[in-house]
Each structure stands twice: as structure tokens, then as C-alpha cells.
Chains A and B, each alone.
Chain A
């Protein structure tokens, strides 16, 4: 059980961060409801603030689908990291056989990367 107790600190950190975020959001609302802060909304006050400039268009724009290729490759190499990490930790026990296995694994994924490269998935014309 001992090493699980260390994860309690992560939980504590999480709770503190949530409480902090909620209090900073809720304090103005509560003070407004109590009447401490005057509430006189006007169109200029409730406009979207964007570095002082007038906002142009809506924020619901359609993303360029080329981002999808980057996300796809990120996903695949994220999974590769998941397998690399325990391999690296246990490397001394595994020896040459484990090394060859991992070279084959990474080699197959490099084929995916080369294919994406050849198909010009990373190019923005």
C-alpha cells in the first residue's frame, strides 16, 4: 500500500486546483448576487474581449483537415511511447532479444511515418 499513498498527493493537488479555480470564478458571482458589486451591463461591457480589438467573425470556424494528419501521427507515436517506456525500464533484464523486438516494432511504425511523408500529409500548399 505504501506507494499508493504517494498518489494521494496527486489527488490532493487535483482537489486544490479545482477548488482554487471554482473560488476565483464563484466569488464575483456571489458578490454580485449579494449586491456588493454593482451590476450594470451594457453592450460595450459584455462584448467579447480580444486584446482590445473588435472581434471578427464567430469562434466556431471549421478547422483545416490537415491538422488531422498531425493528430493521427501524434496518436500513433504516443502509443509507441507507451510500449517504449516499460521496455526502457526493464532493458537490463531483457537484453539483446528485447532490443531486436523493439527495433522491429519501431521499424514497422517508421514505415507508417514514411508513407505519410510520401503522401505529402505534412505539406501545406
Chain B
């Protein structure tokens, strides 16, 4: 019961603030509502039993990505210009709603193989660390490639931003 209430509250908060991000004209307010959307999704992760991911969501999205986006707004002084629509305003809406209708139809028609829900949920951090880093589960190479990706991102960003 508590889970159902928190799901509906958090889902409403996430969808509402995501819509506000897309529809508001003020860029700075859009960025602040994006942060509230990230918080709501962290709460949804908690309702799914993913406690470590909820922490990571707050740490990475709210702590780092949102700060970088706010910094970008202040760097480019675009709060004055607002956030106008392109000529895809109507076409984009039609395409998104059509995709949404198709996805919901497919999700409702698919017989999902839901597992037995009687398992006891445990804190996931230690389990995630063990699964991420033991060779048997096969995530060792993606893990190292993630660091190469971050290295490439830092090099690319510095090359692009550094003045000549």
C-alpha cells in the first residue's frame, strides 16, 4: 500500500516536472525542474528496491549533470533568449504521441514473464560490486571501457573548449 502511494506520487512528480522542462519558456526554471524530475526518479528507484542506484542518481544526475547544465546556462547567457519552439512543434508532438500509443499498446499486449515476487529484497551495494567486478559475470571489459570513454570525453571536451 505504501509502495503504491509512493509510486503514484513520484510518477506524477516525475512526469509533471519533465513536462515543465519541455514546455516552460524560462531556461533556468526548466533546469531547476529537471532536478526535481531526477529526484523523483531516484525515489522510483527506491520503490524498485534499487537503493544504491537511487544514491547514484542523486550523486551523478543531481550532483554533477544538473550542475553542469546550470553552468552551461550561465556560461552562454541564454536566459534572455528563452527556449523557443522550432517548426517541429506540431510534428514532434504528433510523432511522440504516436510512439507513446504504440509502446503502450505493445506493453499491454505482451505477456511479461514476471518472476516470483516473494523474494526478500536486500541492500544491493555489495551484491552489485561483486557482480560488476568478478570475471564470471562478464562486466569486467565494459567496466574498463567505461573509464576509456570518460577519458575520451575529458580529452574531447578540453580540446573543444580550450581557447587557442
User: What is the size category of the interface that chain B forms with chain A?
Assistant: 35 or more
A24 to chain B, nearest CB (A): 19
A103 to chain B, nearest CB (A): 11
Number of interface residues of A (CB under 8 A): 53
Q: Is B147's CB within 8 Å of the partner chain A?
A: yes
Q: Tell me whether B158 and A89 are in contact (CB under 8 A).
A: no
Q: A32-40, A44-52, A60-68: which one contacts chain B?
A: A60-68
By a CB distance below 8 angstroms, the chain A residues around B120 are: 1-2
Interface string of B77-114 (1 = CB under 8 A from A): 10110000000000000000000000000000000000
Q: Tell me whether B129 and A4 are in contact (CB under 8 A).
A: no
Q: Tell me whether B46 and A109 are in contact (CB under 8 A).
A: no
Q: Tell me whether B157 and A72 are in contact (CB under 8 A).
A: yes
B108 to chain A, nearest CB (A): 27
Question: Which B26-71 residues sit within 8 Å CB-CB of chain A?
Answer: 43, 46-47, 49, 51-52, 54, 56, 59-60, 63-65, 67-68, 71
Greatest chain A CB density within 10 A among B54, B63, B126, B158 is at B158
Q: Tell me whether A97 and B46 are in contact (CB under 8 A).
A: no
